[in-house]
Structure 1
Amino acid sequence: MNRLGTAPARRALTHILLLGFGFAYVYPFLWAVGSSLKSKLDFLDTGLSLIPPAPRWENYAQAWQEASFGTYFMNTLIISVTSVLLTLLFTAMAGFALARTTFPGKKIVIGVIMITFLLPHGYTIIPVFDLVNALGLLNTLWSVILVQVGGGLVFGTFMFMAYFSTMPRELEEAARVDGAGFNTLFFRVMLPLAKPMAATLGLFTFISSWNNFFLPLVFTLGRPELRTVGVGLYAFTNQTTTNWTLLCAGAIISLAPIVIVFIVAQRYIVEAIAGAVKA
């Protein structure tokens, strides 16, 4: 009887604790939303309050104009979308080849790829910078795209390799009986079946590319007009002051595409996770 009586209380306590942790987790985002609608004076007076005394929606328009977000938004969109497409194409092909074919030295190739995955990015930035400069791509959008794609190839390759390894051999054999070659088998059979994994990896790549600050700053330093949204947020800071309300408004604007992409790709992400758990 005692145990039955305490079970609901334990569940209620668990729910309260989880709600508390959840609120603490999302509080910084809610604070940024509230602060983006405050005036400079209200920002200083209300401190950690989430609710602005008098919402100033014009902060978003002002942030968009002062930080040249129109140009930076387009730069970021071009870099992110191109990075996603190239990353998915290259990693899907490499993952399929490693998962469904055998060739001499396959284990060595996988081992070398794994070693490169363990290398810290900070150790490779100088040789990568020299390579991009030697190719004449420095201070171009392509320099940022290629470096970001190169940085995501190892993780994506292993993700696709694991996903393709779980597919039944009967599908491949049936396609080959129908006369499908290697390219037809990949593009028309296997790749469409890997949509959940492609959506999941594409979302992670898009978020990483959209939020990247270091690479766009380094490889477009000589041409400020090629800055991305993340780098453009620095327009609200200088040596003496920071316009926190506009900075928060700019941060919320930069988050909007990520939220939209996540909502669109959410169903595929759930399918990929469910497939991984089932496997």
Structure 2
Amino acid sequence: MTARFSVKHAALHLILIALGIVWIYPFVWIVSSSLKTNTEFIVSGFKLLPDKAQWANYARAWETGHFSTYFGNSVIITCSTVAIVIVMCALTGYALGRVRFPGYKLFVLAITATMFIPKGYTIIPIYQIIKHLGLLNTMPGIILAESSGAHVLFILLYMTYFQNLPKELEEASEMDGGGFLRTFFRVMLPLAKPIVATTAIMQFIWTWNSFFVPLIFSLNKPELRTLAVGMYAFAGEHTIDWSGMAAGASIAVVPVIVVFIVFQRFFIEGISGSVKG
């Protein structure tokens, strides 16, 4: 029985290792391609190791490809969007989790249904709002466009989490003279750190990799491009700088990996905590 279990255990590990290799191969391949010449990139196929590492590709992406500017834009847009989404979704989730009103269930059902509406269908009203605010082709305009939407998943996570916190916390804060916002920011939000971390990680990844919205709102101002949109810089009219694009992609993916590795514990706690609730 033990030997049989060991064989099954070893087989399972081998299958998982094989799946892991298949999963990570595209990332390894893109990093390897970033160190090749364009000619070697085209003729090498699935070969990973370059004949000679071309570190100049990264310098070309950073300077000639303007990735230094795009990187800064991505940091500003992503961090600002994450902050707005955290506060907006936490306040909404707190209100839905602690207050009951007529039509409550219908309202929750309605906002849940909006989760299935593709963002492409809402881009026209978002564009019109940003235009009427006079924020087209500006950094604040891109940030508002990125942070717009219901963000239903995060709202539901906060709502479920706040529903399970004891009401005595709010009552104690009210006895100390705390109002709604003071109770929220000083008592309730600090207790929701796992959900805040989950929201921050997921929104960071989505915004950092966002292409559609930054493309539309920076069409007439290339200096506002993010890293994802900046990949266009490597595509000329007749040629494409494949190795430079691979170097740019490698630069763009590093922050996402670092953020997830650093905060993955909080991400798991947030998901497991909301599921238990």
Q: Judging changes above 3 Å, is the alpha-carbon distance between structure 1 residues 112 and 5 closer, same or farther for their aligned structure 2 residues?
A: closer
Counterpart residue number, 1:60: 58
Counterpart residue number, 2:267: 269
Distance 1:6 1:108 in 2: 53
Contact 1:75–1:228, Cα closer than 8 Å, also in 2:
yes
Distance 1:44 1:105 in 2: 60
TM-score calculated relative to the size of structure 1: 0.92
Q: Which moved more, 1:266-275 or 1:240-249?
A: 266-275
Unaligned runs of 5+ in 2: none
Give 1:84-95 correspondences, 5 Å limit: 84-95=82-93
Contact 1:87–1:152, Cα closer than 8 Å, also in 2:
no
Distance 2:157 2:186 in 1: 20
Is the partner of 1:275 in helix, strand or coil? helix
Counterpart residue number, 2:234: 236
Counterpart residue number, 1:42: 40
Distance 2:28 2:60 in 1: 20
CA displacement at 1:157 relative to structure 2: 1.6
Q: 1:205-261 CA distances to partner (integer Å, 9 max, x unpaired)?
A: 111111111111111111111111111111111232221111111001011221222
Counterpart residue number, 1:221: 219
1:256 counterpart = 2:254: yes
Aligned length: 277
Cα RMSD of the aligned pairs, angstroms, is 1.8
Distance 2:209 2:181 in 1: 34
1:121 counterpart = 2:119: yes
CA displacement at 1:178 relative to structure 2: 4.0
Contact 1:66–1:235, Cα closer than 8 Å, also in 2:
no
Contact 2:97–2:160, Cα closer than 8 Å, also in 1:
yes
CA displacement at 1:153 relative to structure 2: 3.2
Contact 2:35–2:54, Cα closer than 8 Å, also in 1:
yes
Is the partner of 1:151 in helix, strand or coil? coil
CA displacement at 1:32 relative to structure 2: 0.5
Moved over 4 A (4+): none
TM-score calculated relative to the size of structure 2: 0.93
Counterpart residue number, 1:96: 94
Give 1:1-279 correspondences, 5 Å limit: 3-151=1-149, 153-279=151-277
**One-letter code of the match for 1:113?**
I
Is the partner of 1:122 in helix, strand or coil? helix
